[in-house]
Structure 1
Amino acid sequence: MALGAVVAWLGCCRRGGELSDSADAVAPGRVPAQAIGRWGNRFNQELYGRRSVTRVDTPCGTVRGHTGGLPGYSSEIYTDATGTRSVAVFTITNFGIKERKAATANKALVDAATC
């Protein structure tokens, strides 16, 4: 955004136009661009909020967080109900934690860090 504003300002200076005219021309496209970006966030697991939160039961209660990953690694971030304890777990893996031993160790780490 900032770089785009600088480029628009430089373009206006070179052509002798007003920056406000350029801003008026660009403004209508800002809303659809933001909507398309948020839709993309939903598919690549970068969307945050109540609907995208993962719940995990631990011995001391339910924790909430977000998960994501790419081929080769997995990431999880959890916070307890009070917001005082949290954990970020990064795992090198192939398309998720499929081995029972690895999944058990991952769960034990989340339990220990959030309880």
Structure 2
Amino acid sequence: GASGSVPPSIAPFSFGDDPVNTGENAGVQCMVQKGDVPITIKWTLNSRPIINGEEGITILKLSPKTSVLNIAAVEQDHRGVFKCIAENKAGSSFTTSELKVN
């Protein structure tokens, strides 16, 4: 595998099978296990881009290959499918997890 660059591969993540109560804290970590940097990591909720700090959602880049999404106080608006998209010059991949809210 020395030829060409390696597209990103994301480790699975999950909010868990159980619904979260409103007001509770929830979060997931999107970790790119392999892939050539620079890698762009983006998040969407129900296919809409998530902007850090908006709608009570914080996105923190821990490293060039790791991004954490946190919701300090979950609301009904946060229910749905969160998607982490990792992209580099070789390609892109994504992982999703559904957040269920009581």
Taking structure 2 as the reference length, the TM-score comes to: 0.30
Based on CA coordinates, which of the two structures has the bigger radius of gyration? 1
Q: Which has the higher contact order (CA 8 A, sep 6+)?
A: 2
Q: Which has the higher helix share?
A: 1
